[in-house]
Amino acid sequence: MSTKRIAALGVIAVVGLATAGCGDSSDGKTEAADKPAASSSADGYPVTLENCGVKQTFTKAPSRVVVMNGASVAEVSTLLALGLKDRVVVNQQTYGMSEVPGRAAEIKSLPKGDIKLNDAFDIPREAMLSQRPDLVLSTTAYGFDAKNGFATREQLKQVGANSYISPQGCDQDTSKMTIEDSRTLLRDMGKVFGVSDRAEKLIAESDKRIAEVAEKVKGEEKPKVMVLFSNMSMGGNDFSSVVAKGI
């Protein structure tokens, strides 16, 4: 598994603080339409989202979501925080520990689709297409690269599935991840599933907690932190490993 995929763990620390990931779309990589088109129905659809250079339209909220591994739990944790557990038909992300009560157990209980993973520890092309997804989430563009044995975004489109790459994952370089990318992920999913009110509530609650912590340590010397990767599973053994980008 590439080190760039490991770096994607950076958003996880933010997900823990926000009980999901999310942010605004001002970085130009992920842009959702501010207003529905004139033909939009009363429920807010269609929703147009531009993600990593690919423009997609959602005519309704996805009901068959596949979450790829990507050494992350940001994507699946976001869906759960938004109350979208029933939309996930396959989840390959795992989380051994969580500061959110019940979150780790809830992730573990999600269906895995009885899929044999490829050498990259993720869902191969044929297995992906057989799941008949209408939305596939990947931590980085790595998950849609044909040379890695995955279904491409174009191939998914051909079978009626939209796709989404988490913020800062477009070029597979996640070293620039910040807490804003966590907010972007949550806001985008809020728009796609028609639950923006839930997303904004989570963001407000998270920002309040972050502000409270920041105030308590104001003026204190920043400690030196060692980041330990014990294995490739988030909290899968005695050590729970995360990347705290900017925290």
Mean pLDDT, the chain, integer: 81
Say what the pLDDT of residue 97 is: 78
Residue 202's pLDDT band, with cuts at 50, 70 and 90, is very high
Q: What is the pLDDT of residues 91-111, one digit of tens each?
A: 999 877 788 899 999 999 999
Q: Which residues contact 12 (CB under 8 A, 6 or more apart)?
A: 72, 73, 74, 77, 234, 242, 243
Q: 201 phi and psi, to 5 degrees?
A: -65, -45
User: What would the two tokens of residue 245 be?
Assistant: 């980008």
Confidence check: pLDDT of 38 > 80: no
Is 140 in contact with 4 (CB distance < 8 Å)?
A: yes
* All domains in the chain, ordered by first residue: 3-216 (3.40.50.1980)
- Confidence at residue 30, expressed as pLDDT on a 0 to 100 scale: 42
Q: pLDDT for 150-173, tens place per residue?
A: 999 999 999 999 999 999 899 877
